[in-house]
């Protein structure tokens, strides 16, 4: 019994020791936290930084001028692919690329052996047909004499008359065939259609050619044209004979409007305008590129702005930041605009802007609508961005 009492007393004493130790730990933690709080310094609230933004005061315009730079290709006034209109084997070639030719000059010939053999055959047939025609005429003469004497019938005379006509027709047919062969023999020579230069030789000696197959490309020399594909509204401002300036590098060339196509190109929806270069001995060759610079005035109210003032918006529109006064401070507002014309550094827009609006011109990536800013008014757009 005394042993049980002693054991219970020891358990109670350990329990109280654990509770006391726990209380001491909580008191120490509280003192530690209080000490840490007393040593911490409370920082004052940070002031919001106000950005300086560069702005311009816009002016309303009644029109804008749009500048176009359109490139065209120099072409010869005539450029033709020439070839034989009958088949054959190329027997001789007399010119090469780069050579100058004159009208009527022989460029190439076909092998004539078959045509010459055919001509001999037709000439022999012609001799036979002529003999048959003479016999038919003599027979007709004799029958006519017999009919006149009443020794033969009219029916026999009619038959001989038709036989004579048939012989004459056969003779004319044979002559026509010989003439056709003579034309083929003449066309076995390929003739230059006009004075010019050979720019391409497509077929070599000994090749079999088909009717219409191109053998050479020949183009005129001296007279050059420029073909420029223009939008319809721009092509319509030109008239035949009108003089314009075309540029090749830093050199100006004078040209006159030669023709305006009456058909729109399906792929580009443009119209070809042909300009005839007027300068003689100009340092140009077919294939050179010339630039047409044209300006056109459009009547539309709007504002000129620097391109750096635009921010992409929805539905194909753009927006700009405008600085306005609010509660004794300046604040940013966003306004939608539509771009009418784009130049190198400036754009012409219309939209919700009003004259004297202060439009932010740069640094848009760090700005948001509603932000407080301080505006710095720059000089006009003409001196800053043109």
Domain-ending residue, one of 130, 165, 186: 186
Classified as helix, coil or strand, 374 is: strand
- Give the domain CATH number at 117: 1.10.287
The predicted model scores a pTM of: 0.56
Is 32 domain-assigned? no
Task: Report the pLDDT value the prediction gives residue 335, as an integer from 0 to 100.
Answer: 93
Provide the pLDDT for residue 384.
Answer: 54
Question: 313 and 319 in contact (C-beta within 8 Å)?
Answer: yes
The yes-or-no verdict on residue 172 having pLDDT over 50 is yes
48, pLDDT greater than 80:
no
From its phi and psi, is residue 327 left (phi > 0), alpha (psi between -120 and 50) or beta? left
Rounded distance between C-alpha atoms, residue 56 and residue 379, angstroms: 7
CATH number reported for the structural domain that contains residue 285 in this entry: 2.40.30.170
Domain termination site, one of 293, 309, 325: 293
Band (37; pLDDT cuts 50, 70, 90): low
The tens digit of pLDDT for each residue in 97-148 reads: 989 999 999 999 999 888 888 889 989 998 999 999 999 899 988 888 888 8
Element (H, E) at 295: strand 289-306
Does residue 331 lie within any of the structural domains? yes
Q: What is the CATH number of the domain that holds 303?
A: 2.40.420.20
pLDDT band of 301, cuts 50, 70, 90:
very high
Residue 52 has which token pair? 């300086």
Residue 46 belongs to some domain of the structure: no
Query: Residues near 379 by Cβ (< 8 Å), separated by ≥ 6?
Result: 56
Domain boundary among 293, 309, 340: 293
pLDDT band for 358, please (50, 70, 90 cuts): very high
Residue 54 CB contacts under 8 Å (≥ 6 apart), including other chains: 360, 361, 362, 363, 375, 376, 378
> Is 15 inside a domain boundary?
no
3-state secondary structure (DSSP) of residue 325: strand
Residue/partner pairs of 169-177 with CB below 8 Å, 24 or more apart: 170/129, 170/132, 170/133, 171/126, 171/129, 171/130, 171/132, 171/133, 174/122, 174/125, 174/126, 174/129, 175/126, 177/122
Phi, psi of 17 (to 5 degrees): -65, -40
Sign, CA dihedral 14-16-17-18, equals: positive
What pLDDT was estimated at residue 292?
A: 92
> Residue 348's pLDDT is what?
93
Whether residues 320 and 355 share a domain: the answer is yes
Model pLDDT for residues 318-350, shown as the tens digit of each residue: 999 999 988 888 999 999 999 999 888 899 999
Quick one: 182 and 126 in the same domain?
yes
Characterize the bridge pairing of strands 346-351 and 289-306: antiparallel
Q: What is the 3-state secondary structure (H, E, C) of 83-138?
A: CCCCCEEEEEECCCCCCEECCCCEEEEECCHHHHHHHHHHHHHHHHHHHHHHHHHH
CA dihedral sign, ordered 341, 342, 348, 353:
positive
Q: Are residues 103 and 197 in the same domain?
A: yes
Higher pLDDT residue, 3 or 70? 70
Provide the residue range defining the domain that includes 56.
52-66+299-385
Q: Verify that 334 and 380 share a domain, yes or no.
A: yes
Residues 200 and 139 in one domain: no
Residue 36 lies in a domain: no
Are residues 328 and 304 located together in one domain of the fold?
yes
Q: Do 98 and 209 lie in a common domain? A: yes
Per-residue model confidence as pLDDT tens digits over 258-268? 999 888 888 88
18 in a domain, yes or no? no
Comparing CA positions, the residue from 127, 157, 64, 17 lying closest to residue 349 is 64
To the nearest whole percent, how much of the chain has pLDDT over 70?
A: 88
Question: For residue 277, is it within any domain?
Answer: yes
Give the CATH number, domain containing residue 215: 2.40.50.100
pLDDT on residue 363: 87
- What distance lies between CA 268 and its chain's CA centroid? 6
Total structural domains within the chain = 4
Tokens of 352: 């919700």
Are residues 303 and 381 located together in one domain of the fold? yes
pLDDT at 381: 58
Same domain, 226 and 327: no
Residues 202, 262, single domain; the answer is no
- Tell me if 101 is assigned to some domain: yes
Tell me the pLDDT band of 316, cut-offs 50, 70 and 90. confident
Structure tokens at 5: 């009492």
Are residues 272 and 266 in contact, defined by beta-carbon separation less than 8 angstroms? no
Same-domain check for residues 93 and 203: yes
Same domain, 125 and 182: yes
Rounded to an integer, the average pLDDT of 199-224 is 88
Q: What is the largest CA-CA distance in the chain?
A: 193
Instruction: Please state, in angstroms and rounded to a whole number, the distance separating the CA atoms of residues 164 and 192.
Output: 46
pLDDT in tens, 126-135: 899 999 999 9
Decide: 147 and 157 in contact? Cβ < 8 Å: yes
């Amino acid at each position: 019994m005394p042993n049980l009492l002693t054991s219970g007393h020891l358990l109670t004493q350990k329990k109280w020791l654990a509770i006391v130790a726990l209380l001491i730990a909580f008191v120490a933690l509280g003192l530690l936290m209080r000490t840490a709080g007393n040593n911490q310094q409370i920082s004052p609230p940070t002031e919001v930084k106000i950005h300086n933004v560069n702005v311009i005061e816009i002016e309303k315009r009644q029109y804008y001028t749009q500048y176009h730079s359109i490139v065209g290709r120099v072409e010869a006034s005539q450029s033709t692919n020439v070839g034989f209109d009958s088949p054959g084997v190329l027997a001789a070639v007399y010119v090469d690329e780069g050579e100058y030719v004159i009208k009527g000059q022989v460029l190439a010939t076909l092998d004539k052996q078959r045509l010459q053999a055919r001509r001999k055959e037709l000439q022999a047939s012609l001799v036979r047909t002529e003999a048959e025609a003479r016999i038919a005429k003599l027979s007709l003469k004799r029958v006519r004499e017999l009919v006149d004497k009443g020794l033969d019938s009219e029916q026999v005379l009619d038959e001989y008359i038709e036989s004579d006509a048939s012989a004459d027709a056969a003779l004319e047919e044979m002559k026509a065939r010989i003439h056709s062969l003579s034309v083929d023999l003449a066309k076995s020579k390929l003739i230059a259609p006009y004075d010019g230069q050979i720019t391409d030789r497509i077929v070599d000696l000994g090749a079999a050619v088909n009717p219409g197959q191109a053998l050479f490309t020949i183009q005129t020399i001296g007279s050059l044209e420029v073909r420029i594909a223009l939008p319809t509204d721009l092509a319509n401002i030109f008239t035949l004979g009108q003089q314009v300036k075309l540029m090749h590098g830093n050199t100006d060339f004078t040209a006159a409007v030669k023709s305006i196509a009456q058909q729109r190109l399906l792929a580009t929806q443009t119209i070809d305008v042909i300009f005839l270069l007027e300068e003689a001995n100009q340092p140009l060759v077919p294939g050179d590129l010339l630039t047409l610079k044209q300006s056109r005035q459009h009547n539309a109210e709007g504002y000129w702005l620097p391109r750096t003032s635009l921010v992409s918006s929805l539905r194909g529109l753009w927006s700009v930041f405008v600085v306005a006064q609010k509660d004794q401070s300046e604040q940013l507002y966003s306004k939608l605009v539509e771009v009418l014309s784009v130049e190198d550094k400036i754009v012409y827009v219309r939209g919700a802007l009003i004259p004297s609006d202060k439009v932010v011109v740069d640094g848009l990536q760090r700005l948001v609508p509603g932000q407080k800013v301080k505006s710095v008014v720059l000089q006009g757009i003409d001196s800053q961005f043109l």
